[in-house]
Structure 1
């Protein structure tokens, strides 16, 4: 797996925000506002920590995936792309 899946998921999130399909969880949480999505990122962060400490590898992987999804939604709301993050990480690597 590579960054391609992150880029693809981000594109799907942007598409859902733009087209607002009925029944979309992405649309549901975005409609609740940035503060709500930011809180979801916080909640998922805590769940990652708990899974890491006491719930095993598979649960940890699942929670990290949830965190990444919610973080990508928050990034979309902020107008920040995965490419922006890749560039920052590259800058820090030097």
Structure 2
């Protein structure tokens, strides 16, 4: 089974590919703003499928969301490991306390 680390590694490798032969390279060549826009589009599509309660469509859209999130992170040089470290840091406190600490 593929992990997010596997996918991030594939995206990093494809970032170096010819944009004419790789969707990932083509998207990255358009810049971080386009990557963010595409991520937003996919997130909205996932929300729509969640509301419709279509599990198969939500599964497909969720895959698109994860892929495009990692592309967006790649476009800004943010490592998946850094995101995972932040999630690990947040586990040390309750969700309510963590959220309250961000609003300060």
TM-score normalised over the length of structure 1 = 0.89
Looking at structure 1, the residues matched to 33 and 78 of structure 2 have their Cα atoms a distance apart, in angstroms, of 16
Counterpart for residue 78 of structure 1 = 76
* Larger CA Rg, structure 1 vs 2: 2
Counterpart for residue 5 of structure 1 = 3
What's the CA shift string for 1:25-52, capped at 9, x where partnerless? 0011111111111000110110010000
Q: Give 1 or 2: higher helix fraction.
A: 1
Give the superposed CA RMSD. Answer: 1.5
Structure 2 residues without counterparts, runs of 5 or longer: 93-104
Aligned length: 92
Counterpart for residue 26 of structure 1 = 24
Structure having greater relative contact order (Cα 8 Å, sep ≥ 6): 1
TM-score normalised over the length of structure 2 = 0.81
Structure 1 residues without counterparts, runs of 5 or longer: none
